[in-house]
Structures are given as C-alpha cells and as structure tokens.
Structure 1
C-alpha cells in the first residue's frame, strides 16, 4: 500500500504505468505485445533498472520468472520487425538502459532529453503523484536555498499553512461559534432530557438561527490528509531524503527517531527493544498534540473524554516508528495550529480553554467525601 517493489513499465505512447509484483509474476508470466515506445524494468525503494527501446520499434515485452538452474526474475523484449541488411551495408539499432539511483532530477532530465514518457514515475509517487511530486520539488528547491532538508520541511509546512489559511480560518471560526453556543446547547439538553428527537430538532434550529455549520470544522482537516500522506511518501520513497540530516541526533530524516524514552535518550547503557523506541521528537509531537486538544473544552461524555485524553499517547506511540522528518512536520504543524487557533479564537471573542484545562489537569482532586 505504501511502496511498490517489482516490475513496472509504460507500454506505448498513450499507456499509463503498469505495475506487477514479484508475487504475481511468480504465479504467471506477464506479456505485453505490440507496444511502440515506452520503457520497462525492475525497481525497488531507491534503485531501478529500465530498458528503453527505440521510439519507432514495435516490440513484445514480458515479465518472467524462471526456475531452471538458479531461480530468477527477468524483464526483456524482442523486436517484431525483421531487419534485413544487404551485403556491404550496415544498420544501427539503439536501445537505452538506465541503472542506478532514482534521483528525481536525473529521471526528469532523461525524460525531457530523450522524450521518455512518464520516466519519472519510476519513483513510486503513489496515487497522489500530482501532489507528492510538486511537494517534493518545492522542498527540494527550498533545500538548495537553505542547505538542510529538515529546515526545508519546516518552511514547506509554513507555506502549506498559508495556502490552507482561509480553510483553517473557517474551521476555527466554526469551532469558536460552537463554543459560544455551548451554554445554549446545555440549556437545550436540560430542557429536552431524554427526548433525543426533540433535542436534535432544537439544535438544528439553533444552528440555522446562528448560521453555524457543525460539519464545517471537519472539512479543512479532511482536505489536509492528502498533504500529510503525500509528505509521508516524499520522506519514504525519495533517495534525496535518505541519510539527510536535520540537527542534533537526527541524522536521517527518512528513518525513525533513534532515541528512546526508556533509556533516558541514551543516558542509560541499555539497548531498547524496537517496540519501546519512543524518541524525543515523537514525544514533542505528542505534547503539541495534547496542548492543541486542550485548546477545546473537555467533552462532557466520559467515553469521548477518555478518547480525548488518550489520543495523543496513541499517536505518540504510532508515529514513533514513522520517519523522523514526518514527526518533525507534525510537531511543527501542531505548533503553528495552536498559534493560529489562539489568534482566531481571540478575534471572535471566545475564551481559550487551554489554561483552564491545564489547571484542571494539574489541580489536586478532592476526595469524594468532601
């Protein structure tokens, strides 16, 4: 679901990219007959090989698995047209071969220089390639200006936040309006009690009267999910990110944070099991997520409140195994969102719940007898 490793090719001037796994070819060889133009080959995460026949040659290609002798996988082709060479004459046949690192700028340069259609798609940009590749190109441009891919991620995050600022403003404005209506909603709940149908109808009338769309706050978040996934793809599949350092202990943005809370981030001489590798940056990300969630009132429902409290912990554990660059992006994005939400809420005259929520967390609870 995240990365294709195996066979791939573009068979014809109008064809898309064909992907075949080793497993599928191991079960049955794949043939592509009567193609003109295009290319085909084998790829893994960072490296690839490809054969590019002459643009005017009609050929049959195949992806095969052989078990005679040493088992092997193979991509090859044969020309369909017979070539007749008269005595004393000569003919040229030109086939290009690529083998090496899948550097984006190199593949794009070959695509343009030799008119090799979709040659840059040897990199698995995924279904969202129209977002993923431009996002990488933006980060790569910034990297060449600042000399650090981690800083490029931070600057790219700011640019993304600026692009989505109108949507985010609507999201936080909707949240602010919902908070302002909280006392009236509480009154309605007390008024209707167990009459859920009546309560729902009354709330819909309240939303209509106050011109509030309760779903408006969700759309900006949903729209930004493809950006999040595209950035994950960039960090995961591009060789430019491989071994790219940030600052301090992060020497590879494509790998997880190498530190762990359970050996005090390297102070204790203990090799931590991979399941307990929760580094400094995932913890920073979890703290920013926790603070962001505390910007809103605690849900009155106990189940929702429990989810509200445990979600940052779950995300901290999950993202600890993700590339450090993605975790840094998430932490920085949360920080910017906290600042943005504070400004918008203040502008709408809505109380920021953060400090009251923090006091509630750290305030010593009285015994039930009191």
Structure 2
C-alpha cells in the first residue's frame, strides 16, 4: 500500500508538471497574444481620437536616421557617438566599456539612437514661451561656432539667431564618465522684454520586446522629486503603469528625473534651487507609444539687450553605483544612487552590495566575493543556527521514541500529544527552532537575488571555468551533455522556452544535491504524505532554480554546504543517524552507521 501511495504521489507531480507546461504553451501563450492584439487595437483607436501629439517619422535604419542631419562627434573614455545639429539633440551614444554579449566581436551597448530609427531614445533642451515666434525646435539647424569633437575638457558651442532678434547660444560639455552639462544662453537684441522658460526632455519612442518584462527590476520613469508641500522622494512608474496613467506631474524644487532600463539611465538634472514643473508623459503616435520625462523651469523675463543663462545636466550611461554616488556628492544631486532599484529590502540589499564590492576590490573575482560574503553571513548566524540544528538533531534522535508513542496511544490522540510534549520537555527539544535558519535566509536570499539582478557590477562578471556571467543562468544543460552534443536547446520549439531545461547545468544539479542532503539530515515529517513531498522538493527546486542567476545558485549552494557541515558536526557529536555517516560506514564495509 505504501509503495502504491509513493507511486501515486510521483505520478501526481509528473502530471501536474505536464499540465503546467501544457497550460503555458496552449492556453497562456495564445491568451497573451490575444491581449497584445487587443492592446494594439486600443492604442490605434486612441491615436485616431487624439487631436494633437508628436508625429514619429516613418521608421528607417539607424544609419539613415543618423545621416539626416549634420553632426558633431562625441568621443570620451566612456562614450562614443554624435550630437545632432538639427534640433541640437544628444541622440547618438554608445557605451565603450560595455558589450551587448560575452562574444569577443560583440558591439558596444547602444544607449541613444536618433529619431526616425526604431526605438529612438534621445535628449533635447530648449526654451518655451507664449506667442513668441522663432524659438528653436526639433527642426532648427544650429551652427557650430566652437569645438570640433565633444570630449572631456573640449566643449562644443552651438548658436542659432532667430528672426525676432533673439540669439541662442548652447555650450555642451562632457566629463570622462557619463555626465553632460548644457549651458543655454539667450540674448535679447530686440526692443522689448520677453518672457521665456527653459525646458528639458528625455524621450523614448517605442519599446523593444524585452523592455519592461523583468519582474525583479524597475524599468520606466524614475526620479527624486518633491511635489508641492511634499518633500523629495523616489517617484517611480513602470512602463506598463506609466502607460495606464498617461501623465503624471510634480511641482518640484530641484531633484532629478529620467528613464531607466535594467542597467542604463538617461536622467535630467536641473538646478537644485529652481522650481520646476516635471512630468512623466505617454503619447500614442502612429504605431508606437512615446514615453517622455520632461520639466519646464520657472519663467524669466529677459530685458532688451540682456542675456540669461540656464544650466542643465544630463546623465546618460551605466548605473555604476560608485559613479552615481560620486555625482551625488560632487554635484549635490539628491539620492542619485536610488536610480538603482534596491527594492523594498534595501536595508539588506545595500549592505550586501557594499560587502561584495569591498571584497571584490580585494580578490578581483565576484564569484569568490559571493562565497566570502556567504561565509560571513553564515558566521554571523552561527550561534542561532547552532541552536536550531542541535534542536533538529535531537528531534531526529527522538524518532524511535515518538514512533513508540504513536503505536501506544494510536487510539488516544490527546494523550499522544500530551506525552509527545512531555518528551520534548524532558529532552529539551523545541520543534519550532528548526525553522529559524530557513526563515532567516529568506530575506537574505531575496536580497542576494536583487543585488545580482539590478547592479551592473554583476553584469558579465566571471567566476571560473565556463561561468562567465554571474548575473545570468548556468549556460550549460544536461540535455546536450553540457555542450558535448551540438544541440542548441534554447532554440528548440517548446523546450527552448523552459528555463528549467535550458539551464539545467552543473551548478543547478550541485544545488539540488546539496538541498537533498540537507533535507535528508533533517528530522522526517510526522505524516507519510508530507515525507514524500519533502523528498520531492529538492527535485522540484532544482528545476525551478535552474533559470536563476548563477551567482544566486552559487550563494545558495555554498550556504547549503555550510549548513550540511555544521549540522553533521552536531549530529555526529550527538550520535544521531545521518546520511554522511551511513555513506562512510558503507565505504568501510560496516553497513549502516548506528546512532
């Protein structure tokens, strides 16, 4: 009967997995495609009803879009690209220090791309005023009057003379990392005063398929802004939520705002004492949605013959924590490192990141840094874990007396519970204590997952051998014998969409083994069905964890090894049956070890 129950349990889990896979491919995916089609239809209807809005040109190649205007080259240690003279936009940037993939011939990461190309992303600056003709706009061609290549210490100056007597001068500077400084001056050569207000905008026209799909990272609008009487705070709007709200406005003093991806950021930084009207806005236009963060500064009156100047900064680059914190201190940008999505458990995430960064600076390998931080965490938890494992070991030693109590009082559950509690008291055992190590590790696990998911320092960070990116899943799979068979599992229909199969490599299997051994060393559950479920848990979690970052599996596996070692020492000292002593006894030809 027990064998049949076990067979039925295994069959149940196998059927459940098949049902889940079948539901994913035959129900969920068609439903998702239908919803996407409905969303496109609604966007088209909204566009037809919109009276005004930005018009996006017909999509052309990036090269064609770039060639539509004369340009000034940008060349810094961190950036390459160009500045568009038509509209004086910063719209063509690549990040020199980052590659798209691990391949040797991989191109650098593209940040900005010109309007007209698919998924355009750019920044623009200017002035606005009521009933003032001739203000420069997106189609205005500026004249380069100083500088040939925009580089650190080599600014570029652009000018535009409007027919109404206004002269606009724009000086663009850049540092050796990712910060641009835009000094805009307006000279009024007319005979009457005029009133203008500065504005700045970061605009994204359409999203690539992978944008906004991450569940553990914020992508979309981000900023530190006040709003009326409310103080400055983090203002977030994910792409999907941003689109639903259409427009959000903030009456802020200083702060910053921008558009962020997982690792990259384009952010506007006004003068920190200036009152601005900031907004996150989405505008449907043709086949794409235009995502726009912008601000308009306080109006200022320019007397005849006078000149006013506005300074705005643009951060366009990688969210390197050290760089963000450096700008925060040097330029007074409030909470700039919050552009990194530290999450709700920031009080765990930040210390873990700081520890990883510090140890990485000593050892030069993020994988080794993860092992070292794991060891430090386990040493900090050692006293509490020691008591818990000792209680669990005593629980396992009481397995036979508890079975005798069940047999003796099988017809009297109340008496059996009373005698069981008395047995716990005599042996000084607390059944609940065994849960504490697991409960304590949950927030640590989540914090590690967050750090590995959102910090660019982990991107493409190698460990050893074939693991060259700790932020990505194990690149090998057991299905092609870890690369020995020339079969691209990821490109195989149906199977290629299941991370549990594509990434079931050595590290997930090692994790599964350590989880099984940890479970085997714990006292068994009182109910036979629960015992079978716990026996299947290591297998189930091996498949679940296969798609997680390799660095997270490295942490969890090493943590399991530490737990196994700690628990084995206690069990061996208390002469409690355990699978390690049983295995060693078999090696010595002694049969099962006796506790």
Q: TM-score under structure 1 normalisation? A: 0.90
The 1-side partners of 2:533 and 2:341 are apart by 35
2:245 aligned with 1:245, yes or no? no
User: Is the contact between residue 396 and residue 524 of structure 2 (CA under 8 Å) also seen in structure 1?
Assistant: no
Query: What residue is the counterpart of 2:310 in the other structure?
Result: 93
Residue 536 of structure 2 corresponds to 310
Question: Which of 254, 269, 279 lines up with 1:62 in the alignment?
Answer: 279
Cα displacement string for residues 110-150 of structure 1 (whole angstroms, at most 9, x for unaligned residues): 11222222211111111111111210111111111111111
Bigger Cα displacement from structure 2, 64-73 vs 46-55? 64-73
Aligned to 1:72: 290
Q: Distance in 1 between matches of 2:284 and 2:525?
A: 62
Q: Which moved more, 1:66-75 or 1:50-59?
A: 66-75
1:34 CA drift (Å): 2.2
Find the residue that maps to 1:162 and give its secondary structure: helix
Q: Distance in 2 between matches of 1:238 and 1:97?
A: 21
* 1:365 alignment partner in structure 2: none
Which runs of structure 2 are paired with 1:201-220 in the superposition (5 Å)? 201-220=418-437
Shift of the alpha carbon at 1:271? 2.0
1:171 aligns with 2:385: no
Cross-structure match for 2:548: 322
Counterpart for residue 99 of structure 2: none
Distance of 2:523 and 2:388 partners within structure 1: 16
Give the Cα separation in 1 of the matches to 2:289 and 2:449.
35
Is contact 2:270–2:313 with CA below 8 Å preserved after alignment?
yes
2:584 and 2:519 map into 1 onto residues whose CA distance is: 14
Q: Distance in 2 between matches of 1:6 and 1:325?
A: 26
More divergent stretch after superposition (85-94 vs 240-249): 85-94
How far apart, CA to CA, are the structure 2 residues paired with 1:329 and 1:239? 18
- Indicate the residue corresponding to 1:353 in structure 2: 578
1:2 is matched with which residue? 216
Question: Secondary structure of 1:98's partner?
Answer: strand
Residue in structure 2 matching 1:282, options 508, 526, 532 = 508
Task: State the structure with more CA Rg.
Answer: 2
1:186 corresponds to:
403
Q: Do 1:108 and 1:119's aligned partners in 2 also have CA atoms closer than 8 Å?
A: yes
- Aligned 8 A contact 1:296 1:352 in 2: no
2:377 is aligned to 160
1:192-271 to structure 2, matched below 5 A, reads 192-271=409-488
Shift of residue 179 of structure 1?
2.3
Maintained 8 Å contact 2:218/2:341: yes
Stretches (4+) displaced over 6 A: 359-362
Helix, strand or coil: the match of 2:217? Answer: coil
1:148–1:356 CA distance, 2 compared to 1 (3 A) = closer
Gap change, CA 1:302 and 1:213, over 3 Å in 2? closer
Residue by residue, what CA displacement relative to the aligned partner does 1:162-207 show, whole Å, maximum 9, x if unpaired? Answer: 1111121121011122223333322321221033233223323333
* Shift, 1:252, TM fit: 0.9
Tell which has more relative contact order, 1 or 2 (C-alpha 8 A, sep 6+).
Answer: 1
User: Secondary structure of 1:94's match?
Assistant: strand
- Runs of 5+ in structure 1 lacking a partner? 363-370
> TM-score of the superposition, structure 2-length normalised?
0.57
Q: Is the 8 A contact 2:385 2:436 kept in 1?
A: no
Instruction: Return the offset for 1:68.
Output: 3.9
Indicate the SS of the match to 1:317: helix
Three-state SS of the structure 2 residue aligned to 1:15 is: strand
Alignment-derived partner of residue 323 in structure 2: 106
Matched-pair contact (CA < 8 Å) for 1:290–1:312: yes
Give the equivalent residue in structure 1 for 2:54: none
Deviation of 1:100 (Å): 0.7
Q: Which residue of 1 aligns with 2:356?
A: 139
Cα distance in 2 for partners of 1:162, 1:186 equals 35
Secondary structure, counterpart of 1:343 in structure 2? helix
2:236 counterpart SS class: strand
Aligned pair count reads 360
Shifted more, 297-306 versus 139-148: the winner is 297-306
Q: Deviations over 1:211-239 (max 9, x none)?
A: 33211111221011111111111111111
3-state SS in 1 of match to 2:278: strand
